[in-house]
Amino acid sequence: MGNIMTSMWTGVSGLKTNQSSLNTAGHNLANINTEGYVRQQIVTKDTIYNSIGTSHISELQVGYGTNIQEIRQVRDVFLDKAYRMEVGRQGFYEAQSEATQEIEAVLGELEGEAFHQDITYFWNTLQELAKEPDSIVKRAAVLSEASTLLERAQSIYDAFGKYQKNLNTQVQDKVNRVNQIGQQIKELNDKIVRYECASENANDLRDSRNQLLDELGKIVKISYSEDYMGNVDVSIEGRQFVWDRSVYGLTTKTVEDSSSLLEVVWDDGQNTPLYDLTQECRSDNNSNIGSLKGILIARGNTSANYTDIPVRENFNSDADFDDAVKKYNAEVNSSVIRNTMAQFDQLIHGIVTAINDVLCPNVSFDTYKTGMGINGNGFTVTGSDGTEIDMSKVKVWDEANAPVGMDPNHTPRQELFERKYTDRYMEADLSYVDANGDPQTRKIYIYNEENPANVYSLYSIDSIQINDEMQKEVSLFPLSSTSLSGGTAQFAFGKCQQLVDVFNIKGHTLSPNQLTKYTFADYYTAFVGEVGTKGNMFESMAAEQQTVASNIDNQRSTVLGVSSEEELTNIIRFQYAYGASSKYINVINDMLETIINSMG
């Protein structure tokens, strides 16, 4: 009787196992189109065996049936980690590509609003003016085109700045989403541990958690591990994020008090930065992962102007210049928006200063004295406040070679592009003893140099405007020359030609990493070409990473994906097995009934 009851329970175990297998296969089929669902599989094992004796060959045993060991997810953890790394790298380059596409749209090269046309129109008006320097109409045309050129340049530069600030929204949204994912993973950890401690299946919750890890991996670089209880601990950039049933979130703050740009920091009370954006982003050290970092790198932490591009002439030694180039490559060249702003501003600065230097030329103090025929000793120069000025490193207005206006007063020192908050010259008194030993005093005009530490002193796009007085009175345009004795003004054809010729001088390189110097028109062409090249590079790298991530995901799908044909086959197989167990139980039941009846 005992053996018959054991056989009965053996059949019952088969029913239970096959019923669970049918339920699992049906669950797989029901979720075949559910995003993030992973195929589940029954793992069975034999129950204990009872020894009933031995034979000359082996021990005689009777089995007690089968039990379900676990209902497992069919997935490859190595493919999961590889996918999350590669999709994060894809997100990094997609962010760079999107930023470059936005810059190309701002420049308008593809919409028929090419900025190089404004440069060409301005140059054409200067050529026409060179033919008729006495024409008020031609002078007015130059002023008009200069105004158009500057307005268009400022519009483009402002658009760069606005886009840079608008990226704050994306940064904040991604930080918020990262924190949300962290909270959701923590909550799922708690549920999974609670269910699995009660020996219940939590695979659907695990699917949700893995889906969150996939999403998080595209935003930031993550690492993670699962403990023996089923909790997943997650780190971001090597620092604990979801850890020990707690979430250490991220937040944002402005880069500087005077800046509106946001940086991402840990919400630890110390505002520890999440990223070191000066670090070179490379694949060999996995520092090019995450769309959040991609946005921050493309945006940069500050705006930029021409002073951010090192020029050898501005440094005392090669070592100082090399250090500046390293800083430029780390902080400016790596940021597509900052680099574009700096290069574009360098173009406008070059045009503006070249034109102004023709209309208001400057020379060293020693050259000025020679040109003005000043001989003697005991020179002193004092400013309006009475302070003596060191003239060894300053420039002064080249009075001997400067053109003047054609107005009745022959007004001098009128620049076409003026700084909004800084005059071109500072008036000072030059005192000296002439060759005859007589003391002399005369006015000189010291050029207010551009100072990178003072943005208001720069001929930068957002700090300049067209000369207001010249716009009111075109005759102030300094294209006439006078003798030193104040004779009749005559038109300075040479100055007009100089204005035209500055557009043919190869003066600037795009960056300190290049040696080729360009004219203004060629500079802009090369500038746009470089933006396009970067855009194609980022787009290509994003596409390559998408292919890599997709291939890995396809490999994952072959493991974790649900096949309707396979699951239907399993259902039929388990149905037959269930039916066989039922028949086996019926046979045991008939045997048991016969034995009981015979005993009566």
> Quick one: three-class SS letters along 262-293?
EEEEECCCCCCECCCCCCCCCCCCCCCCCHHH
Looking at the structure, tell me whether residues 135 and 43 fall in a common domain.
no
Residue scoring higher pLDDT (378 or 111):
378
Residue scoring higher pLDDT (198 or 121):
121
Q: How many helices (H) and strands (E) does the chain have?
A: 13, 19
Distance between CA atoms of residues 333 and 514, nearest Å: 12
Distance between CA atoms of residues 291 and 546, nearest Å: 13
Residue 505 falls within a domain, yes or no? Answer: no
For the segment 31-62, what is each residue's pLDDT rounded down to a tens digit?
777 777 777 677 777 776 666 667 667 666 66
Looking at the structure, tell me whether residues 576 and 547 fall in a common domain.
no
Distance between CA atoms of residues 254 and 52, nearest Å: 79
Q: Is 88 left (phi over 0), alpha (psi -120 to 50) or beta?
A: alpha
Distance between CA atoms of residues 576 and 585, nearest Å: 14
Q: What percent of the chain has pLDDT over 90?
A: 43
Looking at the structure, tell me whether residues 37 and 117 fall in a common domain.
no
Q: What is the pTM of this model?
A: 0.84
pLDDT above 70 for 277:
yes
Residue 595 near residue 14 (C-beta atoms within 8 A) = no
Residue 292 near residue 219 (C-beta atoms within 8 A) = yes
Radius of gyration of the chain (CA): 40
> Picking from 220-224, 364-368, 541-545, which range would have the lowest pLDDT averaged per residue?
364-368
Residue 43 near residue 201 (C-beta atoms within 8 A) = no
Distance between CA atoms of residues 93 and 566, nearest Å: 38
Residue 99 falls within a domain, yes or no? Answer: yes
**Helix locations, 198-266, DSSP H:** 203-219
Residue 239 near residue 178 (C-beta atoms within 8 A) = no
Residue 109 near residue 528 (C-beta atoms within 8 A) = yes
Looking at the structure, tell me whether residues 474 and 590 fall in a common domain.
no
Looking at the structure, tell me whether residues 92 and 53 fall in a common domain.
no
Residue 499 falls within a domain, yes or no? Answer: no
pLDDT at 84: 92
> Picking from 239-248, 263-272, 429-438, which range would have the lowest pLDDT averaged per residue?
429-438
Q: What percent of the chain has pLDDT over 70?
A: 90
For the segment 63-97, what is each residue's pLDDT rounded down to a tens digit?
666 776 676 666 778 988 999 999 999 999 999 99
Looking at the structure, tell me whether residues 241 and 384 fall in a common domain.
no
For the segment 105-143, what is each residue's pLDDT rounded down to a tens digit?
888 764 556 788 889 899 999 999 888 888 889 889 999
Domain boundary among 437, 464, 490: 490
Distance between CA atoms of residues 280 and 89, nearest Å: 14
Distance between CA atoms of residues 487 and 93, nearest Å: 66
Strands annotated E in 274-402 = 362-364, 377-383, 395-397
Residue with tokens 């930029």: 304
Residue 507 falls within a domain, yes or no? Answer: no
pLDDT above 60 for 2:
no
Residue 335 near residue 298 (C-beta atoms within 8 A) = yes
pLDDT above 60 for 488:
no
Residue 33 falls within a domain, yes or no? Answer: yes
Looking at the structure, tell me whether residues 573 and 424 fall in a common domain.
no
pLDDT-derived band of residue 280, with 50, 70 and 90 as boundaries? Answer: confident
pLDDT at 387: 86
Residue 521 falls within a domain, yes or no? Answer: no
Distance between CA atoms of residues 171 and 404, nearest Å: 53
Token pair belonging to 553 = 């995901």
pLDDT at 110: 47
Looking at the structure, tell me whether residues 102 and 43 fall in a common domain.
no
Cα Dmax for the chain = 155
> Picking from 229-233, 405-409, 421-425, 433-437, which range would have the lowest pLDDT averaged per residue?
433-437
Residue 347 falls within a domain, yes or no? Answer: no
If one counts every other C-beta atom within 10 angstroms of the C-beta of residue 359, the result is: 25
Residue 513 falls within a domain, yes or no? Answer: no
- List residues bridging with 439 in a β-sheet: 433
pLDDT above 90 for 219:
yes
Domain extent, residue 327, equals: 79-342+526-552
Looking at the structure, tell me whether residues 69 and 154 fall in a common domain.
no
- pLDDT, average across residues 377-403: 83
Distance between CA atoms of residues 486 and 497, nearest Å: 24
> Picking from 153-162, 184-193, 336-345, 489-498, which range would have the lowest pLDDT averaged per residue?
489-498
Looking at the structure, tell me whether residues 130 and 50 fall in a common domain.
no
Number of structural domains in the chain: 3
Token pair belonging to 222 = 């993550």
pLDDT above 80 for 316:
yes
Distance between CA atoms of residues 354 and 97, nearest Å: 35
Looking at the structure, tell me whether residues 264 and 394 fall in a common domain.
no
Q: Which of 91, 523, 93 is nearest to 342 (CA)?
A: 523
Looking at the structure, tell me whether residues 367 and 456 fall in a common domain.
yes
- pLDDT, average across residues 301-325: 90
Mean pLDDT of the chain: 85
